[in-house]
Amino acid sequence: MNIALATTALLLARYAAAEGTPAAPALACQQYPRGSPAPELVGAWLAHSRDASVLACTPPTQGGASGAEPVYSGESAITEAAGVCRYATHLLARTGAGTTARLQRPDTTEAVAMAAVGTAACPQSHDPAMPKRYTMTYDVTPATFESLMAFWSTVVGSTTEFDRALACCGAGGASSTAGGAVANAQRIRLRGTILAGHMQSAAVTRIVRMAAHGLNRRYALFIDDPESRPNGATIYVIYVTRFFRGAWHISGISSAAP
């Protein structure tokens, strides 16, 4: 996993505006597609790279002061295959100053934003007028992404499915209870949120592949917490595991700041 890119994503998410949160200033982002008017720094990068666009996001500054340095990322064009839309994105770093300033890639690892759309058209990557549709993924295949999203959609549909996912089938079909691995307070709170029907609209913002042993597969799902106060102050981190081609089950639940 690209730790630098993941860290930057977390920092950007922390600054993202949450509706109804007066204390969270908006993150100002501007997308510059290839061929469109753009700052010289961005235009120079697009002229010699394979990126289809550059996204420049300026973090809010304390006291509303101006002059914050944007965080740049390069993005590929959106493609679709088997009902999954995706585009690659990578961090860009500004080096030099004045006339020698330029953008460059600090490493070659990329994250991939994905959206399961079925037969529908791919949504735009950055449309302020539309809800966020893409999930940022790190070392996740499209097939695994679809499988995880389908699993989570089922889990948040009812507390019965949630309970089943906590005590699912382990290796060889042996029954195992995840209660000991799950923080009880977080489990109870998440179950209550599912019971109230609030988790069905909560966005899965990131999926990260975690280290695992043998044929086990383990992923962390970062999911908006619709009941956090103030709004957007915390997110759920759901750890999902399966053995080889077995059923997914929840192996851990935690809460964290975005």
What is the residue-wise DSSP string for 74-126?
EEPPPEEETTEEEEEEEEEEEES-GGG-EEE-S-S--EEEEEE-TTSPPPPSS
pLDDT score of 23 more than 60: no
Give, in order, the Cα–Cα distances in Å from 98 to each of 18, 36, 41: 35, 23, 10
Give the list of residues 6+ apart from residue 199 with CB closer than 8 angstroms, or none: 156, 190, 193, 223, 226
The predicted pLDDT at position 63 comes to 60
pLDDT at 22 over 50: no
pLDDT given at position 186: 87
pLDDT confidence of 6, banded at 50, 70, 90? Answer: very low
The mean pLDDT value for 52-78 works out to: 84
C-alpha–C-alpha distance, residues 102 and 93, integer Å: 8
In this model, does residue 44 exceed pLDDT 90? yes
Say if residues 91 and 3 touch (Cβ distance below 8 Å).
no
- Judged by DSSP in three states, 145 sits in helix
End-to-end CA, the chain: 18
CATH class of the domain at 139-258: alpha beta
Q: Are strands 79-81 and 84-95 parallel, antiparallel or unpaired?
A: antiparallel
Averaged pLDDT score across all residues of the chain: 83
Kindly indicate the confidence band of residue 59, based on its pLDDT and cuts at 50, 70 and 90.
confident
The DSSP bridge partners found for residue 93 are: 104
Enclosing H/E stretch for 221: strand 216-224
Q: Where are the domains of the chain?
A: 1-120, 139-258
Give me the pLDDT at residue 156, please.
96
Amino acid occupying residue 20: G
Q: How far is CA 238 from the centre of its chain?
A: 13
- Supply the pLDDT for residue 214: 84
**Residue 64: what pLDDT?**
55
- pLDDT value of residue 179: 45
pLDDT over 70 for what percent of the chain? 81
What Rg, from alpha-carbon coordinates, does the chain have? 20
Output the pLDDT for position 151: 97
Across the range 86-106, mean pLDDT stands at 93
The percent of residues above 90 in pLDDT, for the chain, comes to: 59
